[in-house]
Amino acid sequence: MQDFSNFRNPSILTASPSSGDTTLDPKQINYLGDWFLIRTSNSFWKDKSDVRMHYTATGEDHFAYKPARSTVEKSMEGRNTPAPNSPATYSWAGKGLLRLFTVRWEILGFEEGTEKVGWLLTFQHKTMFTAPAVNIACRTKDGPNGGIVKAIEQWLRALGDEGLTKAVEDIYMIEHSPGSTS
């Protein structure tokens, strides 16, 4: 069974149901480095594979992916800025042509184990182009085991928020090629 002490409620919830009472300390979250997007409800990634994120201490972040039916990797750059007075919450702004695109996102769950596969659960707020979404990323492209994914999805449903429940219903897997490692 998943230890729910490494979860926190999203800021969109005004009440904290008992299933969402957590002790996740956002200061203990080491989300820096490389992550593979394993599952998401964000429609932007629907026709993409090999989605990887690289988060840096400077906030200069890099996303790489392959469009459907393509072997050519594309990328996008952006900057994450911590949201004031809202722990584990960030505002991402694109660079270059993407500078007009912004999104607010939060870390809801995290596990960085030595024997376990590290995973990261994020919530993305609604934007002009996308509905609210949940994302599960992992330090390896194989992702966490199915029990962890199931526990994450159950926890999100138990929060009782219609938007989060819809996001869980819409979640899908991101494919990763055998050679996608960087």
What are the phi and psi torsion angles at 67 (to 5°)? -65, 160
The closest alpha carbon to 179, from 88, 67, 49, 75, belongs to 49
Asked whether 164 and 149 are in contact (CB, 8 A), the reply is no
* Residue 66 confidence class, pLDDT cut points 50, 70, 90: very high
Count of domains forming the chain: 1
Q: How far apart are CA 28 and CA 150, in angstroms?
A: 24
In a domain, 66, yes or no: yes
In a domain, 98, yes or no: yes
Whether residue 21 is predicted with pLDDT greater than 60 in this model: the reply is: no
Q: How far apart are CA 153 and CA 38, in angstroms?
A: 13
- The CATH number of whichever domain residue 164 belongs to comes to 2.40.128.20
DSSP state of 174: P
DSSP state of 7: B
Give the CA distances from residue 156 to residues 34, 52, 99, 151, 163, in Å, rounded to whole numbers and listed in that order: 24, 23, 31, 9, 10
In a domain, 21, yes or no: no
pLDDT digits (tens, 9 = 90+) for 90-126: 999 989 888 888 899 999 988 876 555 689 999 999 9
- The pTM for the full model equals 0.87
In a domain, 25, yes or no: no
pLDDT digits (tens, 9 = 90+) for 134-175: 999 999 998 888 888 899 999 999 998 898 899 999 999 999
Domain of 65, in residue numbers: 31-172
In a domain, 60, yes or no: yes
If one compares 29 and 4, the residue with the highest pLDDT of the two is 29
The predicted structure's pLDDT at residue 83: 87
In a domain, 23, yes or no: no
In a domain, 182, yes or no: no
In a domain, 13, yes or no: no
* Residue 9 confidence class, pLDDT cut points 50, 70, 90: confident
Whether residue 15 is predicted with pLDDT greater than 60 in this model: the reply is: no
